[in-house]
Structure 1
């Protein structure tokens, strides 16, 4: 077969019928694509029957104007495809690219195309190449990616479980130890009984947490299976009871302004862990010049439920520590009890539930966290 490089007409390949016959039974598109710079015109002077399989266009429809095929390219991929073809024209180097088309009957399909350019005597450019449908291959790649994502997500949740087990249970043990010390030092029987009442509440909370952790072990591979209806106000009150020892010792004031009927679908262990970390941190990193005051409220913003936890504590220098604030084992105060796990754990739990957390803080003034719960 001969290729005409001197004529300006669109018939580049001679004996097209013979070539079409040879390619009759292949699903791949074998093509010649031609561009006339002066006219800014694209044509497909030759296209095998495979054109229908990949573009759902017949060869005769694009012989003198390639628009019917070009218009099938997905709108999000058009620019990239033309950039690659234009670069190939400028450099006379071959191109290869994966892109999508939207077909009338098959919908979105993935194609892999390539072309080798030459410049003809009349100044036009001609690409010889082929295009194949790689949709099934792309689906397999997506399945592999989803599998990897699931494994990574499982690893994150497994890490979350490990930190809940160590970090949260440590909160219970510390508060139990502190309450028992207070009870030993207290001589007034009524005060001692009140403290022991708090010990009982902490013990009950400890049992609930163990039940939640056991549930995570059972179904940690699927966060959605862990969802339950949670009353946010009740969860806060429960957390306050757990931290009663710290609150009493620091003379902290907790202001719970969350509506009593504030319900959401959430992981109970996660919501408890989030509240424990945010409230205990607000108590732990209080300003030495004033008693801690921690305010909690909840509101809707752009259709999302937001929990806000604000304090009048020591504050954090966000310009210095902002990027690493939620990092593992990162601490920002000279507190001997600081471990640097709480905020890392909190952020991961919130994000695992599809939310996010934002912070505003000023040294010497206090800190405010916004938790996007839904």
Structure 2
């Protein structure tokens, strides 16, 4: 019962398929077929192979040997490698050769051979199948070119990385040398400048100036001297603080208490400033505590220093998660900075953008340096007369 059901499920065969001519199939197979005697003499060749090589049947059959179709190197390989394997194993599979066409061009093929023996086990005939692998060779050549190109790119990238590493090492040494120079120079200059300040103080007490302009000139000299002292002190402090912070390990620092502590230490202004703290997104940061303290102190003290006198200062400190990384923001409604004019030099040492406000020009330089040391970056948005926002992007 089941056999009858299976027969009913079979599709009806087109009767033309049962009339397939085996000779026709051999002649026009999708690959080249040939048969040859043990010495290689061709005795049968299908039309597909004739079309591939450009020969007529009479030019090949009984007139040429299989090895005559190979290049010189291919013939040597066939006679020294392929024939012994045929005699030993009775077949060889997937050997790549180049065949010579009648027009002297070459055809890459993949060859399979089988050796038939007679009743006495003597070699009788070799049946050969030849597959045109022209497209495959092109694909392989393209892969090799792509591999060579990738290798060249890899070598160039390795050289570029090596050069970059050398430059980084050089910059590191230069920065260290500059820090040492600045620290030494500021330390060595401190003593003569202090002596000059002392002598000037004695001069003011002991000397009498009759010129009416002397008083203003003395005041100007005193201010310039104080400016020099502040600059030397600032340079020393920056380098010394940098060296100290390099030795401090990172730790989980709670932002709310450290920010409140800094706000309590800031000088008061009139009218009093208001602060909004929002650390709900990221309550703690993994940083060296002194570094974080210095960043926040400089940004918050700048926000107070450059408050707009026409309105009460309002400062917002907050955190956010951007692309999986923490961002610390300090936003104020102060005087603002003309970024089109001063943006490129914003974090340079001793740069000041509001001359009417006293300052050393080292706060933002130090903030930027500490953030970069931590592996982050600082972004600034500001509009003159509206305020400034500093965003510290830290690594994950």
Q: TM-score range by the shorter chain?
A: 0.3 to 0.5
Q: Tell me the TM-score normalised to structure 2 length.
A: 0.44
Bigger RCO of structures 1 and 2 (CA < 8 A, at least 6 apart): 1
Whichever of the two has the greater Rg, that structure is 2
